[in-house]
Copies of this chain bind each other. A is one copy, B any other.
Amino acid sequence: PPAWDRAARPPRSPLQPPGLPLAPCRSFSNNKIQVELDESSGVAMMKFKSPPVNSLSLEFLTEFSISLEKLENNRACRGVIITSALPKIFSSGLDITEMCGKSVEHYAEFWRAVQELWLRLYGSNMVTVAAVNGSSPAGGCLVALSCDYRIMAENPKFSIGLNEAQLGIVAPFWFKDTFVNVVGHRIAERSLQLGSLHPAPEAHKLGLVDELVPEEKLMEKAAAVMAQWLALPDHARQLTKTMMRKAVLDRLVAHREEDIKNFITFVSKESIQKSLRMYMEMLKKKK
């Protein structure tokens, strides 16, 4: 059984009688992400394990999308808890090395993978719970925002936000749409322009995360929340989720190629390349 399963009784499907023995877990794993599915509860645990900071490289994004697709197609899986296997960091966001000094073809492939991941996650039929057990800037924040529910470790050293503006870049419109759907227009406008990274307590106050719990209770709480969401009939819940998210999903689908072109034009600018290189230098020095 996975670690979180020892800490807390696994949530059971309300459709399953409580007396039955637990079915065996199915797990699969790749270089970047570890997945364990508890077929008795229908809940998968997905853990990012790409040191040092779970950055969303092309490889990571591809494996993330494949993992989600596998679970989505597995009728035994009804929900997924997303967390990090690394200490202090949930995900550092898009891997900047994928945006620096690469070919136009590479930029296109990379950006398509970012879009693909978001379309799968934001539009997932499964219940998705983010157990944010570390900092989560930029693309890491997007992953959390795309889930159905966000629980964060209440450590004020952990922060979360779409801080792209701080790097001299701009979050694309669908990052913004996802953010506005969670925190509303005004908070999004201010936070995006300032490129704010909100410490956990502030993130909770703004509604960016739904709940704070002590770090050691995070997995237990995630399992309890998952059980609450799984108590609803899947079909009605899924149709309701689609109704709420369809407009924003459709907008990217309708402008996907245009959005890729915009990304390539933007990231190919010498001024942006310079900003990104400076930022990478700064990160290296920090180590």
Contacts and interface: CB of A to CB of B under 8 A. Distances in A.
B192 A181 contact: no
A115 interface: no
A230 B228 CA distance: 44
A240 to B, nearest CB: 5
Contacts of A193: 148, 229, 232, 237, 240-241, 244
A166 interface: yes
A69 to B, nearest CB: 22
A6 B66 CA distance: 61
Contacts of A233: 165, 168, 275
B194 A229 contact: yes
Contacts of A189: 181, 241, 244-245
A195 interface: yes
Contacts of A164: 236, 240
Nearest to A180: B185
The A interface is mostly helix, strand or loop, or mixed, namely helix
A74 B165 CA distance: 23
A287 interface: no
Interface string A221-232: 000000011001
Interface string A185-204: 11011101111000000000
B195 A185 contact: no
13 contacts: A148-B193, A164-B240, A165-B232, A165-B233, A168-B233, A168-B235, A170-B239, A185-B244, A188-B244, A189-B245, A192-B243, A194-B232, A233-B275
